[in-house]
Amino acid sequence: MLRTHTCGELRIDHVGQKVTLCGWVQKNRDKGGLIFVDIRDRYGVTQLQADETNTDDQVVERLRQLGREFVVYATGNVIERASKNPQMPTGDVEVQVTDIEILNEAKVPPFLIEDDTDGGDELRMQYRYLDLRRNVVRQKLELRNQINREVRNFLDTQDFIEVETPVLIKSTPEGARDFVVPSRMNEGQFYALPQSPQTFKQLLMVSGFDRYYQIVKCFRDEDLRADRQPEFTQIDCEMSFVTREDILSTFEGLIRHLFKTVKGVDLPEVPVMEYDDAMRLYGSDKPDTRFGMEFVELNDVAQNKGFKVFDDAQLVVGICAKGIAEEYSRKKIDELTNFVKRPQIGAKGLVYVKYNKDGSFKSSVDKFYSQEDLKEWAVKMNVEPGDMLLVLSGNTNTVRKQLNELRLEMGNRLGLRDPQKFSALWVVDFPLLEQDEETGKWHAMHHPFTSPKAGQEALLENDSQLANIKANAYDMVINGVELGGGSIRIYQRPMQEKMLSLLGFTPEEAKAQFGFLMDAFEYGAPPHGGIAFGFDRICAVFGGVDSIRDFIAFPKNNSGRDVMINAPSAIDNEQLTELGLKLNLVEAEEKVTE
């Protein structure tokens, strides 16, 4: 190596050694003939020093030429610092430069390469290679690497083997939109990029691989949001001869291993919650259980007292915010009311009840409810003096979603969503099928390969029971983020055929799309199940932030563009012709009217 040590390596023990370091100029200053240069690499920062009175003139000249982000090669002697810097691991020493070379110059970066930068999002995306130089960004990718390694370490001990499944596969109409890849050798035909290796991992179970995993790129051509990217990474797993409990215990083991090794956190045993309970208590299938504030349904105490809004509602439901009755002025309550009335949430209004320290109640519905009425609410909701109730009403599904948003907002306001606190949860017993309200068509809530809960198979034959069938499926939720989900699979042809038929596949379509899988089920398929974790999301949760973007080295923007390399881009006609294609560009307007 050009260097003898990294920039994070030198300590007091190295004093007296002649060393060579390579790195980037972090900052340089000249204090009356005493020149200091901090040089940086992935491993740390070391201070170089030279006194112009006893340093070679050429060396002094070069040191003075240095600008920020120049790449240098510096040789010198390690000496003890006069004024030590206990903030830096190398802060006890500095290197007295005897020789320096400029390996590469640097233009002034378009933004500061510091933890706090002055660069906006777009600029940092365009110069992503400079953004990645910042410690706070690089550390996110180092965390990702560490999690990746620990996932493998754990799964290795459990006899999982990694098998790579193909990236060029077949397009399926089910689920999200596929990215497709035109085939030159099979003109007019297309591969698709996998949304997940689902069918392949099931085939590996049919092959007897018993325990499979893969950390694998997957692709979805969907409109993008902050936490969605067109390409993302899954930790994809499958096991044979298992029940749901085997999967939960194995992958709870994985997550606990990750918390222990990566964060030094002993995650408590992960509780299991039924989907129906999650919806009833939190209005969400991915509740943030770092804090309580569970929903309490108030229909029996709040209805039939003359308040028409509540009387007409399918559900009246509230949460209790502890200890804020005094603090929450009219203004703050108005803020909350405006919050729930935002179009994304869409509540008509918000009812509050303050339980004052003196035992009295003050509410926005005092006109309709007596102190005794409100006392009943308080008892039902386990409210103590000083607490405040927030109550919404309406159609059950809608109001639950709304109150979920309000609960999370209150969690934020009250500091109950500490990113360094972790609360994990299994959510189980999801509905197997969902009906599209407009078309009446049934969709698989998880995917078409998910089996019904044991004992409920017969309900598949009864159209009026379809909505009541529970799936043998499970999600892992941490801090309100769905980190992963999976199911025990269908492994017999007749049930898979039945499922596809319920989802609207004709027998011919079912055969064309999934014939290979159903054929495989006839040659000795074991019972099996699995799970897939969103690797990018696990990284974000471990990093204590909401967005996955910084855990991806080269992310795309919300239009699916890589603004650094300028992709996607046009290709030439020759290449199109070779693929048996031509452009068929339609004005955006026309498309909408079509």
* 547-556 CB burial, b ≥16 within 10 A, e <16: ebbbbbeebb
- Under rule CB under 8 A, residue 511 binds a copy of itself: no
Q: What is the DSSP secondary structure assignment for residue 538, as one 8-state letter?
A: H
- What would the x/- binding string for a copy of itself be over residues 361 to 390, using CB under 8 A? ------------------------------
Residues 292-321 that bind a copy of itself (CB under 8 A): none
State which H helix or E strand residue 94 sits in: strand 93-104
CB of 49 to a copy of itself, least distance (A): 21
Three-state DSSP state, 304: coil
Of 121 and 246, the one with the shorter C-beta distance to a copy of itself is: 246
Residue 487 to residue 466: CA distance in whole angstroms: 18
Residues 480-509 that bind a copy of itself (CB under 8 A): 491-492
Q: Which two tokens stand for residue 263?
A: 């964060």
Of 217 and 348, the one with the shorter C-beta distance to a copy of itself is: 217
Of 283 and 529, the one with the shorter C-beta distance to a copy of itself is: 529
Q: How many residues does the chain have?
A: 594
**Residue 133 known to bind ligand:** no
Distances (CA, A) of 66 to 37, 102, 114, 136, 209: 9, 8, 18, 25, 58
Among 29, 31, 107, 225, binds a copy of itself (CB under 8 A): 107
Among 46, 75, 90, 165, binds a copy of itself (CB under 8 A): 165
- Under rule CB under 8 A, residue 188 binds a copy of itself: yes
CB of 309 to a copy of itself, least distance (A): 42
Start-end of H helices in 159-302: 198-206, 244-258, 275-282, 299-302
Three-state DSSP state, 126: helix
Of 27 and 133, the one with the shorter C-beta distance to a copy of itself is: 133
**Residue 482 known to bind ligand:** yes
**Residue 220 known to bind ligand:** yes
Residues 387-426 that bind a copy of itself (CB under 8 A): none
Residue 365 to residue 468: CA distance in whole angstroms: 37
Q: How many angstroms separate the first and last alpha carbons of the chain?
A: 63
Strands 424-428 and 272-274: parallel
Write the burial class of residue 93 (CB in 10 Å: 0-12 exposed, 13-18 middle, 19+ buried). Answer: buried
- Under rule CB under 8 A, residue 142 binds a copy of itself: yes
Among 11, 184, 332, 342, binds a copy of itself (CB under 8 A): 184
CB of 11 to a copy of itself, least distance (A): 18
Residues 521-560 that bind a copy of itself (CB under 8 A): 521-527, 552-554, 556, 559-560
**Which positions ≥6 away from 558 have C-beta within 8 Å?**
224, 225
- Under rule CB under 8 A, residue 51 binds a copy of itself: no
Residues 205-264 that bind a copy of itself (CB under 8 A): 206-210, 217, 219, 221, 223, 230-231, 233, 240-243, 246
Residue 537 to residue 548: CA distance in whole angstroms: 6
Of 480 and 534, the one with the shorter C-beta distance to a copy of itself is: 534
CB of 282 to a copy of itself, least distance (A): 32
Question: How many positions of this chain bind a copy of itself (CB under 8 A)?
Answer: 123
Of 181 and 265, the one with the shorter C-beta distance to a copy of itself is: 181
DSSP sequence for 305-358: SS-HHHHT-SEEEEEEETT-TTT--HHHHHHHHHHHHSTTT--S--EEEEE-TT
**Residue 105 known to bind ligand:** no
Binding residues: 174, 220-222, 229, 446, 482, 489, 534-537
Annotated binding site for ATP, which residues? 220-222, 229, 482, 534-537
